[in-house]
Structure 1
């Protein structure tokens, strides 16, 4: 839905193509499956679809995402020159919708000694219109408080999550927000925006901050970097929240949706 609600965050050609294809598909569809209640209601409002024909099939995470002791992830951290619980992590494509520039704004405000001790680590492909963000990351790398790892093999991601001090996800719009769930399942505190579907995924376990609010994000992040008690409580809440999502539940919801679709055709 982001090509409709946030078209400014995509190339114009992609917006035209996706808007056309989605509307063609909707004309043929009997039911719509979607992975968040937020998107379900957004689709209903935008396209005037009845809610009972838009079915919720939430996502889950791989069993590879779970809390790991430092001894098991040390080889991966060593490969990237990282120390256990000594970095903030973002995982996602570098593009305007992900709002990585907000993280850079915040990190530029953090006292230098603290940001040198716990740098910002960014993982993900360079996406559309990311040149300025990439240049700012490079400046942070030269200053010693940021690292851009680009694409990281999926097999290594669980260790990168599990080794982080905190996971940061200030996205302006998400249809679900799978990295937030991956981080919570890994036992890592999550700070994310309160935009779109993210409150639904993070629940009360995540520290939700207003979208584009530098000061609030700064204050919450400082607490996460300084306060071990806060982090311990956030980890416990995150693991509990992540346990509510499973592929078994997703499979059951999807199967029921197909049964309903089949009954409509009879």
Structure 2
């Protein structure tokens, strides 16, 4: 990665950092997990000991390493409470926040909660008490958190707050765009029905349907639609973006939209439903159409696929990718974690 110094500033002693989450790549490849990986990597590069303990059973039974991070499967039957007792800092997200926060309080450890969405359980769990640092993935989420605290004045605010937009290292995703119109994760909420409708309206155009990590998948059985099985994060550049000309994101909800930012690295235009998260992440590079307006999507795509329009949209995509360089935010993140001890 090379974005963060390999040694902590000020001679900070190496910390024992323990993360508790339900799943991890390469077995589970969703945006939340890849955001966490991108945040843990610079901590490893600074010399800290980082381990991720899984809370669900999966297919892997032995301890493994993923991008420099040691992962402890539940099947390994290792002693998680002892790891907590010896840890300097705990990190958690999603369903593991209540149990991890409870252990943190019991052992007197600072806990970092990474918030990936604006759903009430996310804020409720973070505000149950004892959160040393809350990490929000967007300005929009930070504002939603303020509304939550205004609505529930008895909720306990975290001791510290930080915004870390899901880090995407452009060099790891940049490639030459392909020819297909692509949807990543074809469940109804992400826009599976929109892809199906567009493929039927544009039979001359190639489409790529990539199976997602979760949800019922709507996979059109059409001659102009190629279906890809679930793709690991490290394979997205070659298997997906190198074959993609335009990325679709007609999602009913996105707190940020990591796949869109990954596509921007290659100058791939993104046509999306205007959720607050996607409007923030894509900025002026995004092309926004209501997900219920399939004719509108078709009209935008036909215009976007003309050479002149595509060149302009691709230029805007690359410019937005450069604006989202994660170097400064990751340095601030590492400093914030180190300051907890």
Q: TM-score under structure 2 normalisation?
A: 0.57
Deviation at 1:201, TM superposition (A): 0.9
Q: Deviations over 1:200-221 (max 9, x none)?
A: 1111112111232222212111
Unaligned runs of 5+ in 1: 1-14, 69-83
Unaligned runs of 5+ in 2: 1-93, 98-119
Distance 1:154 1:51, change over 3 A: closer
Alignment check: 8 A CA contact 2:180 2:208 kept: yes
Q: Deviations over 1:36-95 (max 9, x none)?
A: 112221222234377995421112213211133xxxxxxxxxxxxxxx732111223x33
Q: Which has the higher relative contact order, 1 or 2, with Cα contacts under 8 A spaced 6 or more apart?
A: 1
Q: 1:101 is matched with which residue?
A: 193
Q: How does 1:138-149 map onto structure 2 within 5 Å?
A: 139-140=221-222, 144-149=223-228
Deviation at 1:237, TM superposition (A): 0.7
Whole-Å separation in 2 of the counterparts to 1:238 and 1:51: 35
Dislocated runs of 4+, deviation >6 Å: 15-19, 49-52
Q: TM-score under structure 1 normalisation?
A: 0.71
Distance 1:61 1:217, change over 3 A: same
Name the structure where strand makes up a greater proportion of residues.
2
> What's the Cα RMSD here?
2.9
**Is it true that 1:41 corresponds to 2:143 in the alignment?**
yes
Q: 2:322 is matched with which residue?
A: 243
**Is it true that 1:232 corresponds to 2:311 in the alignment?**
yes
Q: How does 1:69-218 map onto structure 2 within 5 Å?
A: 85-92=178-185, 94-110=186-202, 112=203, 114=204, 118-125=205-212, 127-128=214-215, 130=216, 133-134=218-219, 137=220, 139-140=221-222, 144-159=223-238, 160-218=240-298
Name the structure where helix makes up a greater proportion of residues.
1
Give the number of the structure whose alpha-carbon radius of gyration is greater: 2
SS in 1 for 2:175: coil
Q: Deviations over 1:182-237 (max 9, x none)?
A: 10101212111111300111111121112322222121111123x01111111111
Deviation at 1:155, TM superposition (A): 3.6
The number of equivalent residue pairs is 218
Whole-Å separation in 2 of the counterparts to 1:218 and 1:39: 31
